[in-house]
Amino acid sequence: MLTYLRLPLFLCALAGWALIALPSPALAGETVPIEEFNALKDRVAELEALLLRGQGGAATPAPQAAAAPVAVEQKVEAPSEGETVAVAATEEEAETTDHLKVGGALRMNYTYNDDDRWHEDGKEKGGDFKFDLFRLDVNGSYNDVQLSAQYRFMEDQHFIHHGWLGYNLSDETGVQLGLTQVPFGLLPYASHNFWFGLPYYLGLEDDYDLGLKLLHQNGPWDLQLAFFKNADFGNASDLERYSYDIVKEGDQQNEESNQINARLAYRLDHGDLGNTEFGVSGQWGQLYNGDTGRNGDHWAAAAHVNGTYGPFNLMLEAIEYEHNPKNPAGVSDKTVRMGAFGWGHDVAAKGTVYVAGLSYDVPVSWGPVSKLTFYNDYSRLVKAEEDFEDSEINTLGCLVTAGPVYTYIDFIMGKNATWIGSIGEDGFGAGRHRDEGWNTKFNINVGYYF
Protein backbone atom coordinates (compact mmCIF):
# COMPACT_ATOMS: atom_id res chain seq x y z
CA MET A 1 0.00 0.00 0.00
CA LEU A 2 2.89 2.42 0.72
CA THR A 3 4.17 1.85 -2.81
CA TYR A 4 0.78 2.78 -4.23
CA LEU A 5 0.66 5.90 -2.06
CA ARG A 6 4.10 7.17 -3.15
CA LEU A 7 3.18 7.21 -6.83
CA PRO A 8 0.05 9.45 -6.57
CA LEU A 9 1.77 11.71 -4.01
CA PHE A 10 4.78 12.24 -6.29
CA LEU A 11 2.60 12.79 -9.36
CA CYS A 12 0.33 15.25 -7.54
CA ALA A 13 3.35 17.26 -6.46
CA LEU A 14 4.81 17.15 -9.97
CA ALA A 15 1.50 18.19 -11.55
CA GLY A 16 1.05 20.97 -9.04
CA TRP A 17 4.49 22.53 -9.74
CA ALA A 18 3.92 22.15 -13.47
CA LEU A 19 0.65 24.08 -13.22
CA ILE A 20 2.32 27.03 -11.49
CA ALA A 21 3.21 28.45 -14.86
CA LEU A 22 -0.39 28.37 -16.07
CA PRO A 23 -2.16 31.73 -16.31
CA SER A 24 -5.14 32.42 -14.10
CA PRO A 25 -7.65 34.15 -16.36
CA ALA A 26 -10.38 36.23 -14.76
CA LEU A 27 -13.79 34.64 -14.71
CA ALA A 28 -16.56 36.39 -16.59
CA GLY A 29 -19.25 37.71 -14.32
CA GLU A 30 -20.14 41.12 -15.76
CA THR A 31 -23.51 42.30 -17.02
CA VAL A 32 -23.58 42.55 -20.83
CA PRO A 33 -26.01 44.21 -23.23
CA ILE A 34 -28.53 42.04 -25.04
CA GLU A 35 -26.81 42.78 -28.37
CA GLU A 36 -23.56 41.22 -27.11
CA PHE A 37 -25.45 38.23 -25.75
CA ASN A 38 -27.14 37.64 -29.13
CA ALA A 39 -23.74 37.85 -30.81
CA LEU A 40 -22.44 35.25 -28.33
CA LYS A 41 -25.34 32.93 -29.19
CA ASP A 42 -24.49 33.26 -32.90
CA ARG A 43 -20.86 32.38 -32.22
CA VAL A 44 -21.87 29.32 -30.16
CA ALA A 45 -24.15 28.17 -32.99
CA GLU A 46 -21.31 28.59 -35.50
CA LEU A 47 -18.95 26.60 -33.27
CA GLU A 48 -21.47 23.78 -32.79
CA ALA A 49 -22.08 23.61 -36.56
CA LEU A 50 -18.34 23.45 -37.20
CA LEU A 51 -17.86 20.65 -34.68
CA LEU A 52 -20.79 18.70 -36.12
CA ARG A 53 -19.35 19.00 -39.63
CA GLY A 54 -16.03 17.76 -38.32
CA GLN A 55 -17.80 14.62 -37.03
CA GLY A 56 -19.81 14.04 -40.19
CA GLY A 57 -22.93 15.73 -38.84
CA ALA A 58 -24.46 12.45 -37.65
CA ALA A 59 -24.10 9.81 -35.00
CA THR A 60 -21.12 7.55 -35.64
CA PRO A 61 -21.42 3.75 -35.60
CA ALA A 62 -20.85 2.03 -32.27
CA PRO A 63 -17.28 0.74 -31.85
CA GLN A 64 -16.44 -2.93 -31.68
CA ALA A 65 -17.27 -4.68 -28.43
CA ALA A 66 -13.62 -4.68 -27.40
CA ALA A 67 -13.30 -0.89 -27.72
CA ALA A 68 -12.43 0.98 -24.55
CA PRO A 69 -15.13 3.01 -22.82
CA VAL A 70 -14.62 6.75 -22.65
CA ALA A 71 -13.68 8.54 -19.45
CA VAL A 72 -16.95 9.43 -17.86
CA GLU A 73 -17.08 12.67 -15.94
CA GLN A 74 -15.34 15.46 -14.08
CA LYS A 75 -16.52 15.61 -10.49
CA VAL A 76 -15.95 19.29 -9.75
CA GLU A 77 -18.10 22.21 -10.83
CA ALA A 78 -16.28 24.88 -12.81
CA PRO A 79 -15.20 27.81 -10.61
CA SER A 80 -17.67 30.08 -12.42
CA GLU A 81 -20.55 27.59 -12.25
CA GLY A 82 -22.55 29.76 -9.88
CA GLU A 83 -22.06 33.00 -11.80
CA THR A 84 -24.69 34.44 -14.11
CA VAL A 85 -24.79 36.99 -16.92
CA ALA A 86 -27.74 39.40 -16.86
CA VAL A 87 -29.47 39.88 -20.21
CA ALA A 88 -32.05 42.51 -19.26
CA ALA A 89 -32.68 44.90 -22.18
CA THR A 90 -34.63 47.53 -20.26
CA GLU A 91 -34.84 48.88 -16.73
CA GLU A 92 -38.23 47.19 -16.35
CA GLU A 93 -36.77 43.82 -17.35
CA ALA A 94 -33.80 44.43 -15.06
CA GLU A 95 -36.20 44.28 -12.11
CA THR A 96 -36.91 40.61 -12.89
CA THR A 97 -34.55 37.76 -12.11
CA ASP A 98 -33.36 37.16 -15.67
CA HIS A 99 -29.99 35.45 -16.02
CA LEU A 100 -28.13 33.29 -18.49
CA LYS A 101 -24.70 31.67 -18.17
CA VAL A 102 -22.95 30.06 -21.12
CA GLY A 103 -19.94 27.94 -20.15
CA GLY A 104 -18.24 24.70 -20.94
CA ALA A 105 -15.08 22.65 -20.67
CA LEU A 106 -12.15 21.28 -22.63
CA ARG A 107 -10.53 18.06 -21.43
CA MET A 108 -7.59 15.86 -22.40
CA ASN A 109 -6.79 12.38 -21.11
CA TYR A 110 -3.66 10.22 -20.71
CA THR A 111 -4.06 6.49 -20.02
CA TYR A 112 -1.63 3.65 -19.43
CA ASN A 113 -2.95 0.08 -19.08
CA ASP A 114 -1.07 -3.04 -18.10
CA ASP A 115 -3.47 -4.87 -20.44
CA ASP A 116 -3.48 -4.03 -24.17
CA ARG A 117 -7.01 -5.30 -24.83
CA TRP A 118 -8.47 -1.82 -24.52
CA HIS A 119 -5.68 0.14 -26.23
CA GLU A 120 -3.81 -1.73 -28.95
CA ASP A 121 -0.04 -1.32 -28.60
CA GLY A 122 -0.67 1.19 -25.80
CA LYS A 123 1.60 -0.61 -23.39
CA GLU A 124 4.47 -0.68 -25.86
CA LYS A 125 3.96 3.02 -26.70
CA GLY A 126 3.97 4.05 -23.07
CA GLY A 127 0.25 4.79 -22.95
CA ASP A 128 -2.17 6.93 -24.99
CA PHE A 129 -2.80 10.69 -24.84
CA LYS A 130 -6.11 11.70 -26.43
CA PHE A 131 -8.70 14.43 -26.70
CA ASP A 132 -11.46 13.73 -24.18
CA LEU A 133 -14.24 16.24 -24.81
CA PHE A 134 -15.39 19.75 -25.51
CA ARG A 135 -18.72 20.64 -23.96
CA LEU A 136 -21.15 23.55 -23.90
CA ASP A 137 -23.21 24.41 -20.80
CA VAL A 138 -26.22 26.71 -20.67
CA ASN A 139 -27.80 27.63 -17.33
CA GLY A 140 -30.44 30.32 -17.01
CA SER A 141 -33.41 31.60 -15.04
CA TYR A 142 -36.33 33.96 -15.50
CA ASN A 143 -38.15 34.77 -12.29
CA ASP A 144 -38.97 31.30 -10.90
CA VAL A 145 -38.28 29.39 -14.15
CA GLN A 146 -34.89 27.73 -14.65
CA LEU A 147 -33.09 26.16 -17.61
CA SER A 148 -30.10 23.81 -17.54
CA ALA A 149 -28.60 21.97 -20.51
CA GLN A 150 -25.28 20.49 -21.54
CA TYR A 151 -24.05 19.08 -24.87
CA ARG A 152 -20.85 17.08 -25.28
CA PHE A 153 -18.54 16.62 -28.26
CA MET A 154 -16.19 13.67 -27.85
CA GLU A 155 -13.58 11.89 -29.92
CA ASP A 156 -16.02 9.89 -32.07
CA GLN A 157 -19.51 10.87 -30.88
CA HIS A 158 -21.63 13.70 -29.52
CA PHE A 159 -24.76 13.75 -27.36
CA ILE A 160 -26.75 15.71 -24.81
CA HIS A 161 -25.76 15.14 -21.18
CA HIS A 162 -28.85 16.73 -19.62
CA GLY A 163 -31.52 19.26 -20.43
CA TRP A 164 -34.41 20.35 -18.22
CA LEU A 165 -36.76 23.18 -17.35
CA GLY A 166 -37.44 23.94 -13.70
CA TYR A 167 -39.96 25.95 -11.73
CA ASN A 168 -39.90 27.10 -8.09
CA LEU A 169 -43.26 26.37 -6.49
CA SER A 170 -42.00 27.95 -3.26
CA ASP A 171 -38.76 28.67 -1.44
CA GLU A 172 -38.63 25.02 -0.36
CA THR A 173 -40.16 23.19 -3.33
CA GLY A 174 -39.40 23.01 -7.04
CA VAL A 175 -39.94 20.79 -10.07
CA GLN A 176 -37.77 19.80 -13.04
CA LEU A 177 -39.06 18.54 -16.38
CA GLY A 178 -36.82 16.92 -18.98
CA LEU A 179 -33.59 14.92 -18.99
CA THR A 180 -32.71 15.26 -15.31
CA GLN A 181 -30.63 13.41 -12.72
CA VAL A 182 -32.31 10.37 -11.16
CA PRO A 183 -32.67 10.86 -7.37
CA PHE A 184 -30.98 7.73 -6.07
CA GLY A 185 -28.26 7.05 -3.50
CA LEU A 186 -25.28 9.31 -2.95
CA LEU A 187 -25.70 12.63 -4.80
CA PRO A 188 -24.40 14.06 -6.94
CA TYR A 189 -21.78 11.28 -7.16
CA ALA A 190 -20.95 8.09 -5.27
CA SER A 191 -17.19 8.47 -5.79
CA HIS A 192 -14.37 11.03 -5.79
CA ASN A 193 -12.35 9.84 -8.80
CA PHE A 194 -12.67 10.59 -12.51
CA TRP A 195 -13.75 7.12 -13.72
CA PHE A 196 -16.43 6.60 -11.05
CA GLY A 197 -17.14 3.25 -9.37
CA LEU A 198 -19.29 0.20 -10.07
CA PRO A 199 -22.70 1.86 -9.42
CA TYR A 200 -22.22 4.13 -12.44
CA TYR A 201 -21.77 1.22 -14.86
CA LEU A 202 -24.88 -0.42 -13.41
CA GLY A 203 -27.01 2.68 -14.00
CA LEU A 204 -27.13 3.48 -10.27
CA GLU A 205 -24.85 6.54 -10.09
CA ASP A 206 -25.18 9.89 -11.87
CA ASP A 207 -27.97 8.55 -14.09
CA TYR A 208 -30.14 10.89 -16.19
CA ASP A 209 -33.61 9.91 -17.47
CA LEU A 210 -36.49 11.73 -19.16
CA GLY A 211 -39.35 12.68 -16.85
CA LEU A 212 -40.66 14.90 -14.04
CA LYS A 213 -38.95 15.40 -10.66
CA LEU A 214 -40.16 17.09 -7.47
CA LEU A 215 -37.57 18.50 -5.03
CA HIS A 216 -38.42 19.61 -1.49
CA GLN A 217 -36.12 20.81 1.27
CA ASN A 218 -37.32 21.59 4.79
CA GLY A 219 -34.54 22.30 7.23
CA PRO A 220 -32.32 19.20 7.45
CA TRP A 221 -34.76 17.12 5.39
CA ASP A 222 -34.32 16.58 1.65
CA LEU A 223 -37.05 14.76 -0.29
CA GLN A 224 -37.00 14.00 -4.02
CA LEU A 225 -39.74 12.19 -5.95
CA ALA A 226 -39.69 11.47 -9.67
CA PHE A 227 -41.45 9.74 -12.53
CA PHE A 228 -39.47 8.84 -15.64
CA LYS A 229 -41.37 7.77 -18.73
CA ASN A 230 -38.25 6.31 -20.28
CA ALA A 231 -34.47 6.46 -20.14
CA ASP A 232 -32.51 9.22 -21.86
CA PHE A 233 -33.93 10.05 -25.31
CA GLY A 234 -36.68 7.43 -25.52
CA ASN A 235 -34.63 5.31 -27.93
CA ALA A 236 -33.14 2.25 -26.22
CA SER A 237 -31.28 1.30 -29.41
CA ASP A 238 -29.19 4.49 -29.35
CA LEU A 239 -26.05 3.74 -27.32
CA GLU A 240 -24.53 7.19 -27.82
CA ARG A 241 -25.51 8.53 -24.41
CA TYR A 242 -23.96 9.60 -21.12
CA SER A 243 -25.98 7.49 -18.68
CA TYR A 244 -25.81 3.71 -18.47
CA ASP A 245 -29.27 2.23 -19.01
CA ILE A 246 -30.73 -1.05 -20.23
CA VAL A 247 -30.46 -0.99 -24.03
CA LYS A 248 -31.62 -2.96 -27.05
CA GLU A 249 -28.70 -4.83 -28.55
CA GLY A 250 -28.39 -8.33 -29.99
CA ASP A 251 -30.90 -10.76 -28.54
CA GLN A 252 -31.49 -8.45 -25.55
CA GLN A 253 -34.41 -6.23 -26.61
CA ASN A 254 -35.44 -4.70 -23.30
CA GLU A 255 -35.99 -1.04 -22.45
CA GLU A 256 -36.81 0.90 -19.29
CA SER A 257 -40.20 2.61 -18.93
CA ASN A 258 -42.55 4.07 -16.32
CA GLN A 259 -39.98 4.32 -13.53
CA ILE A 260 -40.71 5.92 -10.16
CA ASN A 261 -38.05 7.10 -7.71
CA ALA A 262 -38.07 8.30 -4.11
CA ARG A 263 -35.11 9.57 -2.09
CA LEU A 264 -35.20 10.86 1.49
CA ALA A 265 -32.14 12.27 3.25
CA TYR A 266 -31.53 13.89 6.64
CA ARG A 267 -28.53 16.09 7.32
CA LEU A 268 -27.17 16.11 10.87
CA ASP A 269 -25.09 19.20 11.71
CA HIS A 270 -22.08 18.74 14.02
CA GLY A 271 -21.15 22.41 14.32
CA ASP A 272 -17.48 23.10 13.66
CA LEU A 273 -16.82 19.39 13.22
CA GLY A 274 -18.90 19.10 10.03
CA ASN A 275 -22.08 17.28 9.06
CA THR A 276 -23.43 13.84 8.20
CA GLU A 277 -26.17 12.98 5.71
CA PHE A 278 -28.14 9.78 6.16
CA GLY A 279 -30.40 8.69 3.32
CA VAL A 280 -32.51 5.95 1.80
CA SER A 281 -33.60 5.55 -1.83
CA GLY A 282 -35.88 3.31 -3.85
CA GLN A 283 -36.85 2.89 -7.49
CA TRP A 284 -39.17 0.61 -9.45
CA GLY A 285 -40.00 0.49 -13.13
CA GLN A 286 -41.06 -1.65 -16.05
CA LEU A 287 -38.87 -3.47 -18.57
CA TYR A 288 -40.61 -3.73 -21.92
CA ASN A 289 -39.33 -6.46 -24.25
CA GLY A 290 -39.70 -5.65 -27.94
CA ASP A 291 -39.60 -9.30 -29.02
CA THR A 292 -42.26 -10.67 -26.67
CA GLY A 293 -44.31 -7.49 -26.22
CA ARG A 294 -44.44 -8.19 -22.48
CA ASN A 295 -43.47 -6.07 -19.47
CA GLY A 296 -41.02 -7.27 -16.88
CA ASP A 297 -39.81 -5.07 -14.05
CA HIS A 298 -36.74 -3.82 -12.23
CA TRP A 299 -36.14 -2.34 -8.80
CA ALA A 300 -33.34 -1.05 -6.59
CA ALA A 301 -33.00 0.12 -3.00
CA ALA A 302 -30.12 1.91 -1.30
CA ALA A 303 -28.97 3.29 2.04
CA HIS A 304 -26.13 5.79 2.25
CA VAL A 305 -24.02 7.93 4.56
CA ASN A 306 -22.19 11.03 3.36
CA GLY A 307 -20.09 12.76 6.01
CA THR A 308 -17.93 15.87 5.79
CA TYR A 309 -15.63 16.44 8.77
CA GLY A 310 -13.20 19.28 8.25
CA PRO A 311 -10.91 18.23 5.38
CA PHE A 312 -12.32 14.68 5.31
CA ASN A 313 -15.23 13.34 3.28
CA LEU A 314 -16.58 9.84 3.89
CA MET A 315 -19.07 8.11 1.59
CA LEU A 316 -20.68 4.75 2.36
CA GLU A 317 -23.47 3.05 0.41
CA ALA A 318 -25.18 -0.32 0.07
CA ILE A 319 -27.43 -1.09 -2.91
CA GLU A 320 -29.67 -4.06 -3.67
CA TYR A 321 -31.02 -4.33 -7.23
CA GLU A 322 -32.91 -6.80 -9.44
CA HIS A 323 -33.92 -6.93 -13.12
CA ASN A 324 -36.70 -9.31 -14.18
CA PRO A 325 -37.02 -9.16 -17.99
CA LYS A 326 -39.63 -11.06 -20.03
CA ASN A 327 -37.25 -12.42 -22.66
CA PRO A 328 -38.23 -14.85 -25.42
CA ALA A 329 -37.39 -18.52 -25.02
CA GLY A 330 -33.69 -19.21 -25.32
CA VAL A 331 -32.55 -15.78 -24.08
CA SER A 332 -31.01 -15.88 -20.61
CA ASP A 333 -32.51 -13.72 -17.89
CA LYS A 334 -29.41 -14.02 -15.71
CA THR A 335 -27.95 -10.91 -17.35
CA VAL A 336 -29.28 -7.71 -18.91
CA ARG A 337 -27.66 -5.52 -21.55
CA MET A 338 -26.59 -2.02 -20.51
CA GLY A 339 -24.83 0.61 -22.57
CA ALA A 340 -23.50 4.15 -22.94
CA PHE A 341 -20.82 6.01 -24.92
CA GLY A 342 -21.61 3.91 -27.99
CA TRP A 343 -20.97 0.45 -26.57
CA GLY A 344 -22.80 -2.18 -24.51
CA HIS A 345 -21.96 -4.82 -21.92
CA ASP A 346 -23.67 -7.55 -19.91
CA VAL A 347 -24.61 -6.93 -16.27
CA ALA A 348 -25.69 -9.48 -13.68
CA ALA A 349 -29.48 -9.26 -13.39
CA LYS A 350 -29.41 -9.44 -9.58
CA GLY A 351 -26.82 -8.32 -7.07
CA THR A 352 -25.68 -6.24 -4.12
CA VAL A 353 -23.28 -3.30 -4.43
CA TYR A 354 -21.06 -1.93 -1.65
CA VAL A 355 -19.34 1.45 -1.85
CA ALA A 356 -16.74 3.05 0.45
CA GLY A 357 -14.84 6.23 -0.35
CA LEU A 358 -12.64 8.58 1.66
CA SER A 359 -11.05 11.87 0.62
CA TYR A 360 -8.77 14.41 2.31
CA ASP A 361 -8.24 18.05 1.24
CA VAL A 362 -4.83 19.70 1.55
CA PRO A 363 -4.72 23.47 0.89
CA VAL A 364 -1.53 24.63 -0.86
CA SER A 365 -0.18 27.84 -2.40
CA TRP A 366 1.74 26.73 -5.47
CA GLY A 367 1.05 29.56 -7.86
CA PRO A 368 -2.44 28.87 -9.26
CA VAL A 369 -2.63 25.53 -7.41
CA SER A 370 -4.83 26.03 -4.35
CA LYS A 371 -5.75 22.50 -3.22
CA LEU A 372 -4.81 18.83 -3.44
CA THR A 373 -7.53 16.27 -2.73
CA PHE A 374 -6.34 12.73 -1.99
CA TYR A 375 -8.88 9.92 -2.14
CA ASN A 376 -9.47 6.19 -2.24
CA ASP A 377 -12.70 4.75 -3.66
CA TYR A 378 -13.66 1.08 -3.43
CA SER A 379 -16.75 -0.63 -4.81
CA ARG A 380 -17.80 -4.28 -5.10
CA LEU A 381 -20.64 -6.05 -6.88
CA VAL A 382 -21.72 -9.30 -5.21
CA LYS A 383 -23.76 -11.18 -7.82
CA ALA A 384 -26.73 -13.35 -6.89
CA GLU A 385 -25.82 -16.12 -9.34
CA GLU A 386 -23.54 -18.56 -7.56
CA ASP A 387 -21.45 -19.31 -10.65
CA PHE A 388 -20.84 -15.60 -11.38
CA GLU A 389 -17.60 -13.98 -10.21
CA ASP A 390 -17.89 -10.78 -8.14
CA SER A 391 -16.64 -7.48 -9.62
CA GLU A 392 -14.34 -5.04 -7.80
CA ILE A 393 -12.79 -1.63 -8.53
CA ASN A 394 -10.40 0.30 -6.27
CA THR A 395 -9.11 3.76 -7.21
CA LEU A 396 -6.34 5.59 -5.38
CA GLY A 397 -5.78 9.11 -6.63
CA CYS A 398 -5.42 12.84 -6.28
CA LEU A 399 -7.26 15.89 -7.65
CA VAL A 400 -5.16 19.01 -8.30
CA THR A 401 -7.19 22.25 -8.25
CA ALA A 402 -5.68 25.28 -10.00
CA GLY A 403 -8.33 27.92 -10.63
CA PRO A 404 -10.44 26.73 -13.57
CA VAL A 405 -8.03 23.83 -14.28
CA TYR A 406 -8.71 20.47 -12.60
CA THR A 407 -6.33 17.52 -12.95
CA TYR A 408 -7.29 14.00 -11.85
CA ILE A 409 -4.44 11.53 -11.28
CA ASP A 410 -5.85 8.02 -10.75
CA PHE A 411 -4.31 4.62 -10.12
CA ILE A 412 -7.11 2.13 -10.78
CA MET A 413 -7.21 -1.58 -9.94
CA GLY A 414 -10.01 -3.76 -11.27
CA LYS A 415 -11.17 -7.36 -11.18
CA ASN A 416 -14.04 -8.69 -13.30
CA ALA A 417 -14.89 -5.14 -14.37
CA THR A 418 -15.74 -4.92 -18.07
CA TRP A 419 -13.13 -2.29 -18.90
CA ILE A 420 -10.46 -3.50 -16.48
CA GLY A 421 -9.63 -6.99 -15.22
CA SER A 422 -11.98 -9.09 -17.36
CA ILE A 423 -12.16 -11.07 -20.57
CA GLY A 424 -14.26 -9.41 -23.26
CA GLU A 425 -17.45 -7.60 -22.28
CA ASP A 426 -18.67 -10.01 -19.62
CA GLY A 427 -16.89 -8.56 -16.58
CA PHE A 428 -20.05 -7.18 -14.94
CA GLY A 429 -21.95 -10.29 -16.04
CA ALA A 430 -20.57 -13.76 -15.37
CA GLY A 431 -17.16 -12.20 -14.69
CA ARG A 432 -14.72 -14.71 -16.15
CA HIS A 433 -11.64 -13.10 -14.72
CA ARG A 434 -8.13 -13.37 -16.12
CA ASP A 435 -5.60 -15.72 -14.56
CA GLU A 436 -3.78 -12.84 -12.84
CA GLY A 437 -7.03 -11.59 -11.35
CA TRP A 438 -6.44 -7.85 -10.97
CA ASN A 439 -5.47 -5.44 -13.73
CA THR A 440 -4.28 -1.85 -13.33
CA LYS A 441 -4.86 1.41 -15.16
CA PHE A 442 -3.05 4.71 -14.67
CA ASN A 443 -5.04 7.75 -15.81
CA ILE A 444 -4.51 11.53 -15.88
CA ASN A 445 -7.33 13.83 -16.97
CA VAL A 446 -6.74 17.58 -17.38
CA GLY A 447 -9.76 19.85 -17.82
CA TYR A 448 -10.25 23.60 -18.21
CA TYR A 449 -13.72 24.76 -17.15
CA PHE A 450 -15.14 28.10 -18.17
The tens digit of pLDDT for each residue in 425-441 reads 788 988 875 555 788 99
pLDDT band at 118 (very low <50, low <70, confident <90, very high): low
Of 95-109, 215-229, 382-396, 398-412, which gets the smallest average pLDDT? 95-109
- Quote the mean pLDDT of the chain: 82
Q: How confident is residue 25, by pLDDT bands cut at 50, 70 and 90?
A: very low
Q: Is the pLDDT of residue 55 over 60?
A: no
Q: What is the mean pLDDT of residues 354-365?
A: 98
User: How does residue 233 score in pLDDT terms, banded at 50, 70 and 90?
Assistant: confident
- pLDDT of res. 424: 65
131 pairs with which residues across the strands? Answer: 108
Report how many domains make up the chain.
Answer: 1
49-58, 132-141, 237-246, 277-286: least confident range: 49-58
Whole-model pTM: value is 0.79
Burial 236-259 (b: 16+ CB within 10 A, else e): bebbbbbbbbbbbbeebbbbbbbb
Q: Give the pLDDT confidence score for residue 427 in this predicted structure.
A: 86
CATH number at residue 230: 2.40.160.10
Q: Compute the 3-state secondary structure of the chain and give helix, strand, coil in percent, each to the nearest 5.
A: 10, 50, 35
Return d(Cα 433, Cα 383) in angstroms, integer.
Answer: 14
Q: Are 135 and 153 in contact (CB under 8 A)?
A: yes
Written as one string, the DSSP assignment of 165-215 is EEEESSSSEEEEEEEEE---SSSS-S-SSTT--HHHHTT-SS-EEEEEEEE
pLDDT at 417: 87
Cis peptide bond upstream of 188, omega within 30 = yes
Give the structural domain span for 338: 2-449
More confident residue, 95 or 428: 428
Instruction: Flag whether pLDDT at 339 surpasses 60.
Output: yes
**Calculated CA dihedral for residues 303, 308, 312, 313, nearest 10 degrees:** 30
Does 142 or 434 have the greater pLDDT score?
Answer: 142
Is beta strand 343-348 parallel, antiparallel or unpaired with respect to 275-289?
unpaired
Residue in 424, 446, 440 with CA at minimum distance from that of residue 68: 424
Best mean pLDDT range from 12-16, 76-80, 275-279, 433-437: 275-279
C-alpha pair distances (Å), 23 with each of 19, 135, 399, 405: 9, 21, 19, 10
